[in-house]
Chains A and B, each alone.
Chain A
Amino acid sequence: MSATFLGMPGNFPQNSALAVQDSQLRYNLRKATHTIRGKRATVVGELSDWAELRAAGKAIKDETLRHLDRYLIQLEEAVTRAGGTVHWARDAAEANRIVAGLVQATGETEVVKVKSMATQEIGLNEALAEQGITAYETDLAELIVQLGDDFPSHILVPAIHRNRAEIRDIFLDRMGDAPPDLTDEPAALAEAARLHLRERFLRSKVAISGANFMVAETGTLVVLESEGNGRMCLTLPETLISVVGIEKLLPSWRDLEVFLQLLPRSSTGERMNPYTSTWTGSVEGQDFHLVLLDNGRTDVLADEVGRQALRCIRCSACLNVCPVYERAGGHAYGSVYPGPIGAILTPQLRGMSSALDASLPYASSLCGACFEVCPVAIDIPEVLVDLRAKAPHGPAERAGMRVAGWIFNDHVRLAKAQRLAGRLRKLVPRRLPGPASAWTDTRDLPEIPAESFRDWWERDERA
């Protein structure tokens, strides 16, 4: 996945421990996630058939994945018939090569971009830069991130970790044409971005996008957005290159009736997002290229439990309800996919060979809030637990768990262990050394009773 995040050190516990100490970050995250959580709950509550939409969404995605080969071929035919060109990329490097080649063929050295998770995942901007091509992000939050030399920390709202004052400072520092008297009013900041990007939109000859959905039956691509930067990029430039994960497919046009209800309500908490664009092949004389991206997705597909992660429509509802995300922030996950969905997607796409990736399946208390709000019913706790079984375990933990398993395997052994603990109970210090300090640094230990329940029963009740 992206080279963007290779600089992220350590593992999730270390990264999140730093984040927890950042009171400004915690305030920003708490405010933002609670706001959007409430909005989502309201608009989801408006639909009497939400459960049925969710069940249909899940089934449609599962059906698509079951016959993904067939639907991709159907899509390719439809796009080609409509005047578009379809490219296939096994991995990030291949996708980046294809896109760079297409841009170079136009003779341009600048491109405008619509916010896209797939292109972040493959590190496209950095790859284009190596070829002398500058990619300009046009989504407001992506612009904030790009200008601030920062990393996105949320799927929907990449600059969620920044508040208005910080954004104003970034604009004043890094956006050449920001008015010197810029205030931190959101409307003033949005206006500054509007003016900054307007000329670029009108000038750019090449745009790069992702897509929220692709319809196999018709060859139609669908992009949902709010600001209009998407419309600018999709319609004005002469060449449009869309990089889309192979799992973004839907079999039929009709399926949009489900997803155009599920996505906006789950994502921004609106009945409908301000703008949705759909196009089929080459439109109004535009040269259209579709790059279909695998980059680990077929490995995920091969996993019976983990493949449900490919149902994800990137709404980010799971981030907004996650108590761990709320306190750790997106950067701690070290991936373009943070939060609960990231904790199951990243280790599947990248493997678990790094300390960071191996720690991600444990970045959850398994509280289940994510599963409850997921519009395509991805059982994230189930996948987390499954990944934990595949994750590498340290030797000390493994030994401890083996001993615990051995004791629990036999009630006589368990009773003996309990009696031993009972005898030693006065010797337990208030603060424990070593790894056990992780508990006692902030919490008292429960008092160990003199007698276990089973011994009491044996003595008192059995007769």
Chain B
Amino acid sequence: MRVALFITCVNDTLFPGTGKAAVSLLRRLGCDVEFPAAQTCCGQMHVNTGYREEGVRLARHFTEVFAAYDAVVAPSGSCAAMIREQYPKLVRPGSRGAAAIAEVTPKVFELSEFLIDVLQVDDVGAYFPHRVTYHPTCHSLRGLRLADRPTRLLRNVRGLDLVPLPAADECCGFGGTFAVKNPAVSAAMGADKVRNVLDTGAEVLCAADNSCLMHIGGTLGRQRTGVRVMHLAEILAATETAMEGTST
């Protein structure tokens, strides 16, 4: 299967390890992964901060870059939700842009969705002998409605001890530019999330979104808790031969 990887600007710039893990995982499962070089950013930061014009330009760019592919996989619930949920609202119904968006959006999948719904695998043959807790992230949970897809995948990882995260459905406080526009409330939410993570005794906090992990991980790091954060793709890419993939 020919799959286009939408790496997302955050992963591309700050978390290349997640992209490498996604590529190795998809190849292991028999996919022919392509990386359209012209891709940039889905436009979420601009749209959600109130810069719609720039956001619409980026949305148009995205639809042009990915129009030709059968399936687009994004290792980010938030960016996938932006494209699927918010793109259609950015343009007038019936306009030229609307048709292009309607064409491309159904082909865009978050990674766990693609594995379970399209490839129909819930055991990807991974090995990760650690105690892990999973934060479902808001846009994956309430936007994309990923439900138990990510945890089904994690449960089938050999050696992995999945422990439930208390109040998992509560926002971590990242919220894009919210984290810097309302730093006090964002930090208070992050501190509560961190407390819940620590209560699980997990070594690793996993999520399908590096932006949330950047916030929670940054708080965990500042508090010197020793708990690592890892993207879902990195855990699923880990095997006995390639231990733990790369964990940047």
Contacts and interface: CB of A to CB of B under 8 A. Distances in A.
A404 B222 contact: no
Contact of B182 (A12, A408, A421, A449): A12
A428 B30 CA distance: 40
Contact of B183 (A372, A401, A439, A449): A439
Contact of B16 (A372, A401, A439, A449): A449
Interface stretch (B4-12, B97-105, B154-162, B237-245): B4-12
A411 B38 contact: yes
A200 interface: no
Interface string B17-37: 101100100000000000101
A388 interface: yes
Interface string B132-157: 00000011001100000000000000
Give the interface SS of chain B, mostly helix, strand, loop or mixed.
Answer: helix
A231 B38 CA distance: 67
Contacts of A391: 50
Contacts of A457: 19, 35, 37
Nearest to B10: A446
A435 interface: yes
Contact of B35 (A414, A444, A461): A461
A435 B180 CA distance: 8
A447 interface: yes
Nearest to A398: B51
A13 B187 CA distance: 12
A402 B51 CA distance: 9
Interface residues of A, number: 61
Given A365-B173, A365-B174, A452-B13, A439 B37 contact: no
Nearest to B57: A409
Contacts of B217: 444, 446
A178 B248 CA distance: 64
B20 A453 contact: yes
Contacts of B186: 365
A323 B171 contact: yes
A442 B61 contact: no
Contacts of A385: 47-48, 50, 86
Interface residues of B, number: 67
A328 to B, nearest CB: 5
B178 A438 contact: no
B234 to A, nearest CB: 13
Given A414-B9, A452-B12, A454-B35, A368 B182 contact: no
Contact of B185 (A20, A414, A439): A20
B54 A405 contact: yes
A267 interface: no
B170 A323 contact: yes
- Max chain B CB contacts within 10 Å: which of A26, A328, A385? A385
A324 B178 CA distance: 11
A369 interface: yes
Given A327-B188, A411-B39, A453-B11, A13 B48 contact: no
Give the 10 A-B residue pairs with the shortest CB-CB distance, closest first. A365-B175, A443-B218, A388-B50, A405-B54, A367-B171, A17-B184, A453-B16, A444-B221, A453-B19, A368-B142
Interface of A: 12-13, 16-17, 20, 26, 323-324, 327-328, 361-369, 371-372, 382, 385, 388-391, 393, 397, 401-402, 404-405, 408-411, 414, 418, 421, 435-436, 438-439, 441-449, 451-454, 456-458, 461
Interface of B: 7, 9, 11-17, 19-20, 23, 35, 37-41, 43, 45-52, 54, 57-58, 61, 86, 89, 138-139, 142-143, 169-171, 173-191, 214-215, 217-219, 221-222, 248
Given A401-B51, A402-B54, A409-B57, 7 more contacts: A20-B184, A365-B138, A365-B175, A367-B138, A367-B175, A439-B179, A439-B218
28 contacts: A324-B182, A365-B178, A365-B186, A366-B176, A367-B171, A368-B138, A369-B142, A385-B47, A388-B48, A401-B46, A401-B54, A404-B45, A404-B54, A405-B46, A408-B61, A409-B57, A414-B12, A414-B40, A436-B180, A438-B180, A442-B187, A454-B12, A456-B16, A456-B20, A457-B19, A457-B35, A461-B23, A461-B35
